[in-house]
């Protein structure tokens, strides 16, 4: 499962998997009885249920770690981009060309501001 998640690296896919796992816990594991009578044999499923709960907790930890890693990477990239813009805005303006470059940077920042906000909210 971890390999599949690392291939996808999609926040919405991972959130979907988390909801699915939680739903499966609620429906399948918790609602099943510990004992099942099969003709003359009584089967104890308590250890199987406990093992399933532990495995589900492991999956949730893996999914949560992957979400955290994706968010950290996204926010690190955003911070680098903001610092890059900050450096470009701090350049000395002593001629026409640097001023034109500065205006281009400002226009680029304006164009990307909504994208940045969405990236931050998603992360």
Instruction: Please classify residue 17 by burial: count the beta carbons closer than 10 Å to its beta carbon, then call 0-12 exposed, 13-18 middle and 19+ buried.
Output: buried
User: Burial code of 70-108, b = ≥16 C-beta within 10 A, e = fewer?
Assistant: beeeeeeeeeeeeeebeebeeeeeeeeeeeeeeeebeee
pTM over 0.75: no
Q: Which residue would you say has higher pLDDT here, 118 or 7? A: 118
**Per-residue model confidence as pLDDT tens digits over 4-24:** 555 555 667 777 777 787 777
Quote the pLDDT of residue 60: 79
Quote the pLDDT of residue 66: 81
**Per-residue model confidence as pLDDT tens digits over 81-106:** 889 888 888 888 788 888 888 888 88
Q: pLDDT class for 113, splitting at 50, 70, 90?
A: confident
**Per-residue model confidence as pLDDT tens digits over 39-83:** 777 777 778 778 877 887 787 788 788 888 888 888 898 899 889
Number of structural domains in the chain: 1
Range of the domain at 35: 2-122
Quote the pLDDT of residue 2: 54
Quote the pLDDT of residue 75: 85
């Amino acid at each position: 499962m971890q390999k599949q998640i690392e291939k996808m690296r999609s926040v919405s896919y991972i959130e979907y998997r988390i909801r699915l796992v939680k739903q499966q816990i609620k429906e399948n594991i918790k609602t099943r009885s510990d004992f099942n009578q099969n003709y003359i044999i009584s089967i104890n499923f308590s250890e199987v249920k406990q093992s399933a709960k532990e495995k589900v907790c492991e999956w949730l930890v893996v999914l949560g770690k992957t979400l955290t890693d994706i968010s950290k990477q996204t926010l690190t990239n955003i911070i680098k981009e903001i610092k890059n813009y900050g450096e470009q805005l701090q350049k000395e303006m002593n001629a026409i060309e640097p001023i034109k470059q500065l205006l281009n940077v400002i226009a680029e920042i304006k164009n990307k501001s909504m994208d940045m906000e969405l990236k931050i909210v998603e992360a």
